[in-house]
A and B are shown apart, each in its own frame.
Chain A
Amino acid sequence: MNGKTLYEKIWEQHEVATGPGGRTLLYIDRHLLHDGSFHAFEALRNAGRKVRRPDAAFATPDHYVPTTGRENITHPELRDKVETLERNATTARITFYPVRDDRQGIVHVIGPEQGITQPGITLVCGDSHTSTHGAMGALAFGIGASEVAHVLATQTLWQAKSRTFRVTIGGALREGVHSKDIILALIAKIGAFGGSGYTLEFAGEAIRALSMEARMTICNMSIEAGARSGLVAPDDVTFEYLAERPYAPKSADWEHAVARWRALPSDPDASFDREVALDASVLEPMATWGTSPEHAAPVSAVVPDPRAEPDAARRGSMEKALSYMDIAPGQRIDGLAIDRVFIGSCTNSRIEDLRVAANVIRGRKAVVPALVVPGSGLVKRAAEAEGLHRIFIDAGFEWRDAGCSMCVGMNGDLVGAGERCASTSNRNFEGRQGKGARTHLMSPAMAAAAAVTGKITDVRRLL
């Protein structure tokens, strides 16, 4: 008999009932809520339903929260969204971290940071980047507003089992190449829907060698490959990261939990529906040139020619992307002038990201407007304790408070129409960072290099 995958193990441990057509009613251990969750609370209220397990939910404002001057939010709509979340959460007795609390931040940063995210649990949030939490060996996925309401009311979801897809990353990353480059290279290889209908599991020596935070960057962008979830099997890196965090199990509970978590990794004889391998040792720093995360290439490459694309719909989309990005086939990515830099988002706003960026910036000056938005109040405090903020501020960066900020611009941190932004976020969609904004995704190291040179630059020349 075949062994089981990590995904199958977590799945089986959370089956509550079987419904029509063999669908599974899956138990949800933890639920994160943010200031975009008001639609779900409203639906719940309209149906006269109650929150079943307030102790399983955690709420903090991130999407709408300003990253400056937020003690007194003057924008009425933004203030309303932040206050509405506080009212909804506290009325339901859900743990809430307000902006004045250092634990406030991007939900996908604070879940692991607080030890809310743990191996082997199911975790959901009304946000597609919930896949981030899979880095800790949790089955975590984004859901829509109806599903948020369903989880609040029942602590379960009707789910169909996905197929499994193992991505094995061998070799070791070279200097100046980071986990963001691994995930961008993977998406370029398998496409923006290569992972649709699958749960990804990232394995291999390059993954094992990554820190917890670097693994989060990879799982975060699973959704950009079309997969609702990405997983990394828990190991000592995971347990070391989690130990002593506020919501982690303590003393005897910790020992029990670790013993159980050690049984979670996929069995050696487990089979996957699809497998892909990638060699980390040949990767270069990556950047995107178009309007889908699959439009990613090594920084030394040139922009591809749509005329080489046989499929008409794909060719049309590429042409549209090039026109939107105001970029031509054959143009070199390295050297492309940019107008602005954003370092932040649930993909790359953790302390290690800030360290990598600061290391490139130290002793240099930003030549374009640049923004650093730490992922949480605690990340900000930690960076300040190390003096990283001085490096950014001295280089001319703006040093802001935690939130989603310019990744999606819902709080008013926007890239102007026609502006080209080097961004550590996750989506280069048309209009994502603002109407008419042009986004080039890259690692924090590459974004830092772009800030000090004013163009997309192979960061390895600056190291």
Chain B
Amino acid sequence: MKAFTTLTARAVPLDLVNVDTDRIVPARFLRRPRSEGYENFLFHDLRETDREFVLDRPEYRDAQILVAAENFGCGSSREAAVWALAGWGLRAWIAPSFGDIFFENSFKNGALPIVLPLERVAALREQLKARPGSEVTIDLTAQTVTFPDGSVQAFDVDPFRKECLVAGIDEIDLTLRHADAIARYEDNARKASPWLFDGYH
């Protein structure tokens, strides 16, 4: 997995609350193999009806940071939502809150979801709308976001997720370092609850 440390890039504002993962990638595309490139389906139906959709405006075309509103990525657990955003070239998303499953799925694909206070995210979207194409800097090591107006906002990140992102660690490899603990747990569980093992029924 690609490591994530700092990123200075154009940011694109998206002024909608409760953007669900069905909207990010409509369900009918989920049967397609990943090799087809899920970025082709990103916000597919929204963009079809809204020709001015913000991602299609030339000043945001090479944006790598998305600045969204509350509950971005809610709904379905489809990881394809992250694949589509990442495939488009986005590497970080900032919002006041995210769908919990989408939030976790982001990290698994080397992307960084950042939660900032509601008013700060709204201010950031306003700055980006006032000067389209402005850049934002994310420093994961220092845990700061630098806005186009030069103001610096600190953010929290789970230390586990930070370590995995900064080092580009494969989570399954990390887990398998605990293979003995898993085996011990299973031995005890098999004795305590045999009905949860070996096809008991």
Contact = CB atoms under 8 A, between A and B. Distances in A.
User: Do the two chains bind?
Assistant: yes
Interface of A: 16-17, 19-23, 25, 27, 29-30, 36, 39, 42, 47, 49, 53, 55-56, 64, 77-78, 81, 95, 115, 118, 121, 126-128, 141-147, 149-150, 153-156, 158, 160, 192-193, 196-197, 223-224, 226-228, 246-250, 253, 257, 292, 294, 312-314, 316-317, 320, 408-410, 427, 429-432, 435
Contact of A193 (B79, B97, B160, B186): B97
Interface of B: 15-18, 20, 22-23, 26-28, 30-31, 34, 45-46, 69-71, 74-80, 82, 97-101, 104-105, 108-109, 122, 158-164, 171-172, 174-176, 178, 181-182, 185-186, 189, 193-201
Given A16-B185, A21-B162, A226-B71, A432 B195 contact: no
Contacts of A77: 31
Given A144-B77, A430-B46, 9 more contacts: A23-B158, A42-B34, A56-B197, A128-B75, A142-B77, A249-B193, A257-B193, A410-B27, A410-B31
Nearest to B68: A313
B160 A144 contact: no
29 contacts: A20-B163, A21-B160, A27-B189, A39-B79, A53-B186, A64-B31, A143-B104, A144-B77, A144-B78, A144-B79, A144-B104, A145-B79, A146-B171, A153-B172, A155-B186, A158-B160, A160-B158, A192-B71, A193-B74, A196-B99, A228-B101, A317-B16, A320-B16, A429-B22, A430-B23, A430-B46, A431-B23, A431-B45, A435-B28
A432 B27 contact: yes
Contact of A47 (B23, B31, B79, B172): B172
Nearest to B26: A431
B11 to A, nearest CB: 16
B201 A246 contact: yes
A64 B100 CA distance: 25
Contacts, number: 200
A317 B17 contact: yes
A147 B104 contact: yes
Contacts of B163: 20-21
Contact of B182 (A16, A23, A246): A16
A253 B15 contact: no
B31 A313 contact: no
B178 to A, nearest CB: 5
B160 A253 contact: no
Given A147-B108, A154-B175, A247 B195 contact: yes
B23 A146 contact: no
Given A144-B78, A250-B195, A430-B45, A312 B15 contact: yes
Given A146-B105, A313-B122, A427-B22, A156 B175 contact: yes
Contacts of A153: 172, 175-176
A195 to B, nearest CB: 9
Residue picked from A78, A156, A257, A313, most chain B C-beta under 10 Å: A313
Contacts of A17: 178, 181-182
B200 A247 contact: yes
A226 B79 contact: no
B34 A143 contact: no
Contacts of A312: 15, 122
B75 A154 contact: no
Contacts of A23: 158-160
A389 B20 CA distance: 35
A394 B47 CA distance: 43
A335 B195 CA distance: 52
A193 B195 contact: no
A246 B201 CA distance: 6
